[in-house]
Amino acid sequence: MRPRVSSRMLKKSASFVLAALSTFGKRGSSFVKRISFPDSDVSRFTFHERRGVVLLVAFVLAGLVACEKTPDQAPEAKKAVVAETPGLLRLTPEELARTAIEVTPVVRGQSHVPREFPATVQSNENELAEVSTLIRGRVVKVHVDVGQDVKKDALLALLHSTDLGVAEGAYLKAKAKLNEAELAYERARDLHEHKAVSLAELQRREAEMKTARAEARETQNRLELLGVPRQELERLDREHTIKADVPMRAPFDGRVIMRNITRGEVVETHQKLFTVADLSDVWVVGNVPEKDVQFIRKDRRVDVIVSAYPHAIFPGTITYIGDVLDPATRTMRLRVTVPNPDRLLKPEMFATVRVYAAPTPDALTVPLAAVQNGPSGKMLFVQRGANEFDVRTVKLGDEQGEVVTVLDGVSAGEQVVTKGSFVLKSELERHKIEPTP
């Protein structure tokens, strides 16, 4: 015999289910109300059918309860806990164990910030000479080579010039004609004193002498313009022989840094044959950006660093500051004179001019490794606890080696994260935390 369930019991069960699920919202209540049965229909169901209906209602309502709690609720709760304090990053023990954190205190003290500018080493143009010839000729012999040190008036090369021979011949002729004119004038003057010649004859002889003297002076000046030294003119007056050799000599003590001449070559007056430079002092010429012009002062001592000797510092003095800026690069020309007694600095070497600005007596500095790029500028991570880090947006100043000056955002003594700051930045982006301004 099948057990019978009264309509009163079924309605009581449905009411109990409705009351239990009413806390889950209107969706559950309305659903239960829709599946409740009138009294006239309940008696038609058997015990097993009624029990099935109750179980069906329970399963459906359990699904509604599960749908009310979405998978996103747990992260939302976690985010709320992490971001409950603005600008604070709190790591879990597991996250902290995966991150190697090192901190360094913010230091307050005097900051001596250098500014560096690219430059190149050049010869001192006041001690540089381009040796060329003043007369066309053929090279007979070359006496020096590139890199050779020479003394003043040392013979560099010897040329043979037919043009010089012609000029020396004209000089000898003019000197001979002058001598003849002078003798004729002396004779005419003696004869005029004895009333043997007229005054007009004496004046004619005097005019011829002056003309010959002007011609001789002209030929001598021409030889001097061709670079013939006084010793050679004295030799011509003494020996009366043409020697059409053109010696090329060093203008001062220095080193031959360029040679453009070979034996047998015919050279012209426009050619540069040798370059002699005194490299005991060199120039280091650099370009200063417009924003750093205010830190440059003439006669200030600076340091020069060259790529060839990265660990050596060459002291120098600013000897020239440009009066105008380059309109294309917006830079000012800077020249530093550097002593070079050991000839270590070579022309055309790349160099860096380091200028120290006036020191800042009370500056805050942190390592560059602690600085990260944030959504609104540079930022630092300041440690507040074992697993808590305050995210600060900071205003930075000048860099000095591996440290940087902080103008605003931190205080002296605060511990900033150096090693591991990039990992903290990744956690910051993952938790979507905004830095403290």
- Give the CATH number of the domain where residue 343 resides: 2.40.30.170
Adjacent-strand bridge partners of 353: 117, 304
Question: How many structural domains comprise the chain?
Answer: 4
Do 384 and 332 share a domain, yes or no? no
Please state the rounded mean pLDDT for residues 3-20. Answer: 48
| Residue 142 maps to a domain | no
pLDDT of residue 112: 66
| Residue 249 maps to a domain | no
Select the more confidently predicted residue: 358 or 280: 280
The 3-state DSSP class for residue 242 equals: coil
| Residue 411 maps to a domain | yes
| Residue 23 maps to a domain | yes
Encoded tokens for 121 = 């080493």
Residue 319 has pLDDT above 90, yes or no: yes
What is the enclosing helix (H) or strand (E) of 248?
A: strand 245-249
Per-residue model confidence as pLDDT tens digits over 147-172: 899 999 999 999 999 999 999 999 99
| Residue 145 maps to a domain | no
For the whole prediction, is pTM greater than 0.85?
Answer: no
Where in the sequence is the domain holding 322, given as residue range(s)? 278-356
Contact 143, 259 (CB under 8 A): no
Q: Taking Cα atoms as reference points, which of 432, 361, 371, 359 lies closest to residue 404?
A: 371
Do 38 and 53 share a domain, yes or no? yes
Do 414 and 366 share a domain, yes or no? yes
